[in-house]
């Protein structure tokens, strides 16, 4: 089943679960109705490779440098924890290389070559919006993901373009219930999980768990 359909199916269940009074009951219903659903990686070529994550954020939103750096770090951590024998090239090494190189921000492959990576995971974060209304939080992000094989002259080997992710998928959160920083962290985590899932085997219901955390720990 397509992961977008899985995501929507999980959100539909989430709406039902919000009516259940306790976390224990929520977990029980989720387990009974939605048993583990393992999804294979869409691209599995990162095993035993030196991988660099390069996130380029549009300058159209606030703190684009911090946003791109934080998203790249979150994706790195997920890949390191779930892809066998992957070797992550740190953001610090990118920063060190930038200090001595004339980097064209539109060319992630130049970074890959500069830090001697086997694989470049390039994230183009075109738009990120945190707040739709002064009293409510809802996140929306538009982005594309491309993987380049630096051992094959930087050839693109995987692409997932023109993606839009909303968080939470259904409804909004009141600004009275949590801080903007906390919402921003959760939203960025949801983007990082969505991106990283393309590269390792995972449970299709992970997004349900993320939204359930929001519902039960506001």
Whether residue 122 sits in one domain with residue 67: yes
Whether residue 171 sits in one domain with residue 114: yes
Who wins on pLDDT, 77 or 131? 77
- pLDDT level of residue 208 (50, 70, 90 thresholds): low
**25: CB partners within 8 A, 6+ apart:** none
Who wins on pLDDT, 115 or 32? 115
156-190 tens-digit pLDDT: 999 999 999 988 877 777 777 788 888 888 899 99
In this prediction, residue 60 carries a pLDDT of: 53
**DSSP state, residue 156:** E
Taking each helix axis from N to C terminus, what angle separates 206-216 and 23-33, rounded to the nearest 10 degrees?
Answer: 160
Q: How far apart are CA 125 and CA 55, in angstroms?
A: 7
- Please report, for the domain that includes residue 194, its CATH number: 3.40.50.10610
Whether residue 74 sits in one domain with residue 169: yes
In this prediction, residue 10 carries a pLDDT of: 52
Whether residue 155 sits in one domain with residue 47: yes
In this prediction, residue 203 carries a pLDDT of: 85
Residue among 57, 50, 79, 72 at smallest CA distance from 198: 79
Asked whether 157 and 45 are in contact (CB, 8 A), the reply is yes
Whether residue 62 sits in one domain with residue 8: no
Residue among 210, 209, 214 at smallest CA distance from 36: 209
Whether residue 188 sits in one domain with residue 129: yes
Who wins on pLDDT, 94 or 217? 94
Q: How far apart are CA 206 and CA 164, in angstroms?
A: 18
C-alpha distances out from residue 48 to 11, 84, 92, 111, Å: 35, 7, 21, 20
Whether residue 176 sits in one domain with residue 86: yes
110: containing domain: 41-200
Q: Is it the case that residue 213 has pLDDT exceeding 50?
A: no
Dihedral over Cα of 174, 175, 179, 184: its sign: positive
Segment 102-114 shows an average pLDDT of 81
Q: What is the total count of domains within the chain? A: 2
Question: In degrees rounded to 5, what are phi and psi of residue 23?
Answer: -60, -40
Q: How far apart are CA 74 and CA 85, in angstroms?
A: 18
Whether residue 171 sits in one domain with residue 82: yes
Q: Which of 114-123, 128-137, 174-183 has the highest mean pLDDT?
A: 114-123
Q: Which two tokens stand for residue 198?
A: 């393309």
Asked whether 177 and 218 are in contact (CB, 8 A), the reply is yes
Whether residue 105 sits in one domain with residue 180: yes
Whether residue 19 sits in one domain with residue 118: no
Whether residue 102 sits in one domain with residue 58: yes
Segment 115-120 shows an average pLDDT of 97
Whether residue 217 sits in one domain with residue 133: no
């Amino acid at each position: 089943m397509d992961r977008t359909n899985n995501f929507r199916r999980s959100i539909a269940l989430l709406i039902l679960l919000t009516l259940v009074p306790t976390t224990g009951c929520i977990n029980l219903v989720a387990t009974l109705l939605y048993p583990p659903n393992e999804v294979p990686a869409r691209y599995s070529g990162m095993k035993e490779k030196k991988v660099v994550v390069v996130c380029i954020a549009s300058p159209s939103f606030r703190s684009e440098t911090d946003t791109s750096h934080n998203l790249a770090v979150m994706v790195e951590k997920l890949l390191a924890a779930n892809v066998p024998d992957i070797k992550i090239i740190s953001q610090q090494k990118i920063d060190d290389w930038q200090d001595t190189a004339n980097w064209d921000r539109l060319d992630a492959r130049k970074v890959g070559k500069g830090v001697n990576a086997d694989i470049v995971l390039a994230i183009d974060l075109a738009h990120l919006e945190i707040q739709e209304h002064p009293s409510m939080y809802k996140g929306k992000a538009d982005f594309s993901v491309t993987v380049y094989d630096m051992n094959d002259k930087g050839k693109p080997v995987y692409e997932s373009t023109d993606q839009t992710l909303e968080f939470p998928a259904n409804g909004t959160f009141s600004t009275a219930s949590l801080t903007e920083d906390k919402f921003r962290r959760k939203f960025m985590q949801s983007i990082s999980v969505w991106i990283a899932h393309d590269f390792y085997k995972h449970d299709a219901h992970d997004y349900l768990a993320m939204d359930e955390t929001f519902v039960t720990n506001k």
